[in-house]
Structure 1
Amino acid sequence: MRLLRIYPDDTRFGFVRFRRITLPLSALLVVMTVVLGMTVGLNFGIDFKGGTLIEMQAKSGKADAGAIRQTAEGLGFGGVEVQEFGTQGGVSLRFPIQEGGEGAQSNVVQQARATFEADYEFRRVETVGPRVSGELVRSGTLGIVLAIGAVMAYLWFRFELQLAIGAIIGTIHDIILTVGFFVVTQSEFNMTSIAAILTIVGYSLNETVVVFDRTRELMRRYKSISVEELLDVSVNTTMSRTAMTATTTFLAVLALVLFGGEAIRGFAEVMLFGVVICTYSAVFVSSPILIYLGLRSRPAESAQAATRADAAEQTP
């Protein structure tokens, strides 16, 4: 009985030929992300900025964000960020850090309750002081740096020099574009966002390693195939697995976006973007860039025989 394959075994699609479009496009997106990050910046959440976050639900089912902002700013605690979210009537208030320590922060909550509790139900109250927020920034940054360093060390010892550099470039590409997602959408960047980035690092590494393992195997089996054909065969012979993994992961994360609720939606939206960008990167960034890294340059022979041989081996 033949197993189901969503990508035909004998496909010989030329993925690498699109490198003249995909590599400049990715480079442009990376540059734009860096520029926007320096000019617009991230929308840091209370975890990193400190302050008081209050989420309320209107008892009448309808919230007037403008009136809430005017009333909250009249309390005298500085500029207040007011944003509607979730179902109708949901609204969040972010008060800046107050001088005077925990007592001053607690006073913000007490004043807000006294002002709004008649018309609004308080769903969530979170207070983070400047010392705690500073520690979270350092811990989050250190976690990302250590994770990237560990990934680079793993790739360096796992693959030959060119393959390791290609995988590292692909992983960094995915991280930068994920940060760009936060900059463009102005989604709140908090500790959950750090977890999402670290998850995407692992997913990106997994996608790239699968393709590069096949590339290294084919380099040993077919000595005379040109590097372009070698990479095309590598991508084509792993595409069935790549498509299956990306599709199932995408659908699972999409379900979280649609039905997971507000608490997990931010994380799920970033992961949804990450699945798409990591799959794109493994096929159209990490693999084609090996050509410019000098992976191998030999006289070209037809790759059709290599593809047919691979398909025959994979057929039950």
Structure 2
Amino acid sequence: MRLLKLVPDDTNINFLQWRMPFYVVSLLLIAASWVLVFTQGLNYGVDFAGGQEIRATFVGQEEADIPAIRSTVGELQNVGDPVVQRFGSPNEVSIRVKLPPEAEGNPAFADQMTRTITDALQAEYPSIRIDGVDSVSGKVSGEFREKAAYALLAAMLAIAMYIWVRFEWQFGVGALFALFHDVSLTLGMFALFQMEFSLQIIAAILAIIGYSLNDTIVIYDRIRENLKKYRKMPLPELLDLSVNETLARTVMTSLTLLIALIPLLLFGPASLFGLVAAITLGIFVGTYSSVYMAAPILIWLGVTSRSFVPQEGAADRQERIARGEG
């Protein structure tokens, strides 16, 4: 019995034939994404915008009913969409709510919102015990945003340096541009649809960077092998050959991830929607950027068939002359 193959072994798709139109479209999408980020802004969650955190224990219950708690708090006026998570034991929860702009610098407003939430919870769950209330100020949330941006930038630069050392500097630049493309489009999606942007999304973006990098390195590794093997092949043809040779692996990896992500995106809890949406988009743009961003840019950065030929040093040249090899 023959195994089903989604991608035949002898694919010969001319990917780089359309590299210029795809590059133009990608550059326009990157520009549009950053325009959206700077004009509409991101809908920051409690972690980045500031808010109130209430820690509570549901005494007498083995496990807190998180969907019911989220519904109870979410129905309150001027509270918005709360973030409810387990905190320690199964019957302990952390409830975080984002404060509206008028609450900035107004402790009385924040205290009133906290009392409203705790009164509603105590009315619904008489056995609840409030363990503590913390405020996340705008200053602290600003530091979170700054550190998150530094974390993403550091991850991208470290990846570029790693690829630079492992391959050539052109490959590092190509990988960095592909990662910038993926992160930009993800931020653009969150700015366009105004989905909540929280620490969860930072984790999702780091996962996208990891996936895109893995896909790019596989293609780059095959390009390097083929550069050593086919010295006279024109570079565009060699890049097409390398992408086609790794296509089966790329398709299978992406499909495996999407099989797990799409049901979670459609039927999963609302609290995970942003995280799953970001990773799902990242699978598409990461695969696309590895093929149409990271590979074609090598042509414009001057990679040639001699890029991986060892360069002869002065000592090697003298030894060759001494052997009478000219």
Residue equivalent to 2:316: none
Alignment of 1:220-239 (within 5 A): 220-239=228-247
Q: 1:192 aligns with which of 183, 192, 200?
A: 200
Indicate the RMSD between aligned Cα atoms, in angstroms: 3.2
* 1:227 to partner: Cα distance: 0.8
Point out the more displaced range, 103-112 or 275-284. 103-112
Residue equivalent to 1:24: 24
Residues 263 and 14 (structure 1), Cα distance of their counterparts in 2 relative to 1, 3 Å cut: same
Q: Secondary structure at the match of 2:71?
A: strand
Q: 2:285 aligns with which of 277, 302, 306?
A: 277
Supply the AA of the counterpart residue of 1:162.
Q
Alignment of 1:55-74 (within 5 A): 56-57=70-71, 72=77
Supply the AA of the counterpart residue of 1:37.
V
Residues 237 and 47 (structure 1), Cα distance of their counterparts in 2 relative to 1, 3 Å cut: same
* 1:114 to partner: Cα distance: 4.2
* 1:247 to partner: Cα distance: 0.5
Supply the AA of the counterpart residue of 2:146.
R
Residue equivalent to 1:145: 153
Instruction: Tell me whether 1:250 sits opposite 2:250 in the alignment.
Output: no
Residue equivalent to 2:43: 43
Supply the AA of the counterpart residue of 2:278.
V
* 1:128 to partner: Cα distance: 2.4
* 1:4 to partner: Cα distance: 4.8
Instruction: Tell me whether 1:95 sits opposite 2:99 in the alignment.
Output: yes
Instruction: Tell me whether 1:110 sits opposite 2:118 in the alignment.
Output: no
Task: Name the larger-Rg structure.
Answer: 2
Q: How far apart, in 1, do the equivalents of 2:288 and 2:134 lie?
A: 38
Point out the more displaced range, 249-258 or 263-272. 249-258
Point out the more displaced range, 157-166 or 174-183. 157-166
Cα deviation per residue 1:236-275 (whole Å; 9 max; x = unaligned)?
0000000000110111111322333123221111100000
Unaligned runs of 5+ in 2: 55-68, 84-95, 307-326
Q: Secondary structure at the match of 1:57?
A: helix
Supply the AA of the counterpart residue of 1:107.
Q
Identity %: 38
Moved segments of 4+, more than 6 Å: 115-122
* 1:9 to partner: Cα distance: 1.3
* 1:15 to partner: Cα distance: 0.5
Query: TM (normalized to structure 2)?
Result: 0.74
Q: How far apart, in 1, do the equivalents of 2:182 and 2:113 lie?
A: 40
Greater length-normalized contact order (CA 8 Å, ≥ 6 residues apart):
1
Query: TM (normalized to structure 1)?
Result: 0.76
